[in-house]
Chain A
Amino acid sequence: MLPLLCITACSAAVASGQPGLTDAEWQRDGGAPQTSEPAPEPDRSDELDPAARLREVAIAVGPGVIVHGLGQHRAGRPEAARKLLVAEAVGLGLTAVGLSGLALTGASRYTVAPLALTTMAGVGLFATSWLTDVYAVARPAGSEGAAPRFAPRLVSEMGYRHVADPQFPYRHFLMHRFELRVGKLALEPSGWFALDENNARLRLAARYRLAGATPGRPCVDGTFWDLELAGTHHRYDHDGFRIATGEASTRVRLDLARRHAAFRGAFVQGGAGFALQRTAYDVPAVSIPADWSEMLLGELGFGFYFGEPARYDGEVRLFYDHRHDGYAAGMLMPGLGSGVIGHLGLDAVGFFGEQLGLRAEAQVGAAVVTGLSLVVRERRH
């Protein structure tokens, strides 16, 4: 239950933040709503001293990996340091509870899901508290990006993906994604189509936004809380099988400026869910019953915004995704632990002006996925 409590707590934090604003309220507030909580950022003695900042970064990266928040402490922000240290301690605690639970139960089928999610939450909290410390001392003061306060009604993305998987002959893909938002509902059909092989992955996701920006109703920051239902159909015609997946999940993003002003521009994102998969086999002259299997969904990431709206803006996100399907799938490693964990990814999207943007992504699992695409979003009125 611990991971569910974490998600609930995070969701509560999301929901308790300043609610979305109507366009009229946005105009009345002069287009610059403030978050409700953050304290003003203390003066930084190193703002004009790059060498001092370099020392802070070195401390955050070096000893700071053991004691999170050392970078903030060095920068003269003890409250920010304390929050990161607490997050680290909670992360380590959750990790210890999850791992020891898995060991004691022999990864029992009856308890593995909550224990695995607890471990993921713990490792995620540990990693993001460290990355937050590094980010907050590494970025020059005043260089933080602005969070996207608007949710466009329409987003379309088309691009190229390269999949280097030693198990399958495909390499080159055309991908297309389309997102339509109506109020709190969003519909997102997407497809990956191999250009050199009979392989295609079609997905339709429907989301309901419980908190955060929606079209015509901007929010104070990029924080959101979504519920998602999705279906995926993945054809491997060359290898004689198809995988159909139905899933339900929830995803939360929390802008870290809500926790402390020093973290402005950074965010954490996490999610959890459940999927059911049906693998059907196309073997000539043989009738084979399909295999059914469940899959635990879990996602954790740290990211930051860059730029300023209407000129150039975007975000970068480093994430862990527990999925073992799709093109990246689960990570393979030398040694004892291969196959257990999901894949790592880096996702960067940047807009040049209000409409046009580029997305670059990389994922490393059983395969290495890289790609670049053009993104078009609805212009803000």
Chain B
Amino acid sequence: MDGRTLGAWAAAMLALGCTRPAEERARRDLEIGQADVAGTSVTVEGGLAAIRRAAPGELLLWQSAPVTRLRIVRAAGAPDDWTLEVRNALPDLQLEAEHGSAPLTVTAVDRPIVTHKEFRVRLPAGESTLSLTTPDAAEPSAWRFAVMSDVQEAIGEVQDIYQKVNAEPGVRFLLGAGDLTQQGSVSELSRFELELRSLQVPYYTTLGNHELGNTPPPYQDLYGRGSFSFVFREVRFTLLDSASATLDPLVYGWLEGWLAQGKGSVHVVAMHVPPLDPSGLRNGGFGSRAEAAKLLSRLAQGSVDLTLYGHIHSYYGFENAGIPAHVSGGGGAIPERFDDMGRHFLVVDVAASGVSAVRVVRVD
């Protein structure tokens, strides 16, 4: 072995590793919710909806959050009649539109699927603000949401879970921590959306490692950002893209802001790969134990109230850095054996005053 051979070995070894595998996705997150079409620019605040189609006078959005604000700047020669189709919407979603401080007339059009909405609005030239919201968006009283992750190859049986979620009274939306599909291809993601039509509430989710089977992953084009934060009924939700068993340093920068904004309110944080696997021998957590501790230290400093994870195909309730934590990977992917858990989802009771209960609902 000469020096050159050793050098080649070392270079090959270095090439195998990649210390920022989520960087490209984080940068793409910044582009979500922006479009320019026919002299009109559209911006979704916080990237909380993916713009699936932008044509003159026509927008198709996929919502990642219950409440979304759009800023639309229309040039003088651009069309003024706009149709806004919103998918993954709360059944009681409304559109409030303003031009300056003047309200604009909005017409809602009935759609057969309860989570699909359509609105028509005439936009004057210049900047208009469109708010997609619900009557209870600012209510501080108790409400509930459900949590379900890790469907993967079990997409054919996911209707069993949706039926049970639909039967749970008072659930406003389903929160997901990724692994909707097996490989994350466009056809798998489309199938997932097709199956969602029977779910009576929207499904707000981040992505999991099983959405990374294609390069670049098409997930963000269809379902929006991997890392984002929103507030509903005075509870802050932050979803983080930990699909590569790490958070990109860009995401830590955003997280700092979201933690500061959520400091005075109830804050729920969800991501796919947990920082620490409750079974450390398996290490289904972050690639670096030190990074896991860094993230948990920040979440604790930010007074986060609840952490929700997927990735591990069972249920674990525990604490990390003193924060209540729940791993729930019960969407149907190959289950963890010998624990008698199987398919399940969580129902979380929450209010502006805190998280009052987390309940496991078995499906099988």
Contacts and interface: CB of A to CB of B under 8 A. Distances in A.
B12 to A, nearest CB: 10
Interface string A164-175: 111110000000
Contact of B1 (A139, A324, A330): A139
B279 A368 contact: no
A167 B212 contact: no
B336 A337 contact: no
B284 interface: yes
A134 B209 CA distance: 35
A60 to B, nearest CB: 13
B355 to A, nearest CB: 18
Contacts of A294: 279-281
B21 A333 contact: yes
Given A293-B280, A304-B1, A346-B9, A332 B294 contact: no
B74 interface: no
Contacts of B124: none
B297 A239 contact: yes
Given A108-B339, A112-B282, A166-B249, A318 B9 contact: yes
Contacts of A291: 276, 293, 296, 319-321
Given A291-B321, A295-B280, A335 B212 contact: yes
A107 B336 contact: yes
Given A165-B19, A333-B17, A338 B209 contact: yes
Interface in B147-196: 183
B138 to A, nearest CB: 29
B17 A167 contact: no
B50 to A, nearest CB: 22
B296 to A, nearest CB: 7
B336 A288 contact: no
Nearest to B2: A138
A121 to B, nearest CB: 16
Interface in B278-325: 278-291, 293-294, 296-297, 300-301, 303, 312-314, 319-322
Interface stretch (A63-71, A80-88, A276-284): A276-284
Q: Which of A324, A337, A346 has the most CB of B within 10 A?
A: A324
A120 interface: no
B357 interface: no
Interface stretch (A209-217, A218-226, A359-367, A373-381): A359-367
Contacts of B245: 330, 332, 338-340
Contact of B284 (A107, A168, A240, A288): A107
B283 to A, nearest CB: 6
A332 B281 contact: no
Contact of A108 (B1, B243, B249, B336): B336
A110 B210 contact: no
B213 interface: yes
Nearest to A114: B281
Contact of A332 (B21, B277, B289): B21
Interface residues of B, number: 63
Interface in A273-304: 274, 277, 279, 281, 283-284, 286-289, 291, 293-296, 304
Given A318-B9, A325-B289, A329-B288, A281 B281 contact: no
Contacts of B280: 277, 293-296
A295 B281 contact: yes
Contacts of B10: 346, 362
Given A316-B6, A338-B209, A368-B14, A329 B290 contact: yes
A281 B296 contact: yes
Contacts of A336: 183, 209-210, 212-213
B358 to A, nearest CB: 19
A27 interface: no
Contacts of B288: 165, 167, 324-325, 329-330, 365-367
Contacts of B337: 104-106, 108, 111
A245 to B, nearest CB: 9
Nearest to B179: A336
A325 B300 contact: no
Contacts of B215: 334-335
A241 interface: yes
A200 to B, nearest CB: 13
B287 A306 contact: no
- Identify which of A139, A277, A335 gathers the most chain B CB atoms within 10 Å of its CB: A335
Contacts of B53: none
A234 interface: yes
A288 to B, nearest CB: 4
A107 B277 CA distance: 12
B61 interface: no
A241 B293 CA distance: 7
Interface centre among A105, A167, A284, A346 (most CB of B within 10 A): A167
B276 A293 contact: yes
Contacts of B244: 332-334, 338-339
5 contacts: A108-B339, A243-B290, A283-B301, A289-B322, A333-B244
Interface of A: 103-113, 116, 135, 138-139, 164-168, 234, 236, 239-241, 243, 274, 277, 279, 281, 283-284, 286-289, 291, 293-296, 304, 306, 316, 318, 324-325, 329-340, 343-346, 348, 362, 364-368
* Closest 3 pairs (CB-CB, A-B): A339-B245, A329-B288, A339-B287
